[in-house]
Amino acid sequence: LISRKRKEGDREYEIAERIINEGNRIADIVSSLLSFARSDVKVIESTSLRSVLTDTIILVEAMFKKDGINISSKISRNLPKIHVNPDQIRQVFLNVFMNARYALNQKYQDSCPEKKIEIKAGAATIDGIKYLNITFTDSGAGMSEEVLAKVFDPFFSTKETEAGTGLGMSISHGIVTDHGGLISIDSEEGEYTKVTVSLPLVYG
């Protein structure tokens, strides 16, 4: 009500806007936590990685197109199926996409061929366990070693307050771990970020 009555630039207006923005941020945090709490990793099904990824791309493609971000997806139709909670894995992929979008927009103001995210997938064996690896590599702003060391910490974020809750990658890490999988990040500041999600082919 105050923000409607006051003009932009007034102290009261600025205070009201800060309160509104902080309220929205808290609402986003609560929503993220409730969403994670409601999901049950035991509700799993045999599904196609390509299908889960395609569903996620549909959610972000209009936004990415507006920002001039190119998505290159090289996912074979012949990959073995994974046993997962599809909704949770879509959430993980969505978090990765949104972080990539932020990093790409930080580095590139306009559309260009280099402003892209590449997605690849393939089978791998890690410590005797068979996984399906999916990698997301963006050519964005990248991260320093200090930031990379904290990327999975709850509430840690390099984004402006209104741009993120700092819970996305922490929740993603929890989801992947609960599925018996692995998630790792390789990044070089100013160059790229590569996120690898490894999901076991047989859920234990």
The two three-digit tokens of residue 35, written as one number: 């969403």
Per DSSP, helices labelled H in 74-167 are 86-107, 145-148
For residues 21 and 116, state if they share a domain. Answer: no
Domain that holds residue 24: 1-38
Share of the chain above pLDDT 70, in %: 75
For residues 17 and 50, state if they share a domain. Answer: no
Q: How many domains does the chain have?
A: 2
Query: What's the confidence (pLDDT) of residue 17?
Result: 62
Nearest-CA neighbor of 119 among 105, 106, 132? 132
What is the residue-averaged pLDDT of the chain?
82
For residues 64 and 49, state if they share a domain. Answer: yes
For residues 58 and 25, state if they share a domain. Answer: no
pTM reported for the whole predicted model: 0.77
Query: What's the confidence (pLDDT) of residue 182?
Result: 96
For the chain, residues with pLDDT lower than 50 are 1-4, 22, 25-30, 32-34, 36-38, 203-204
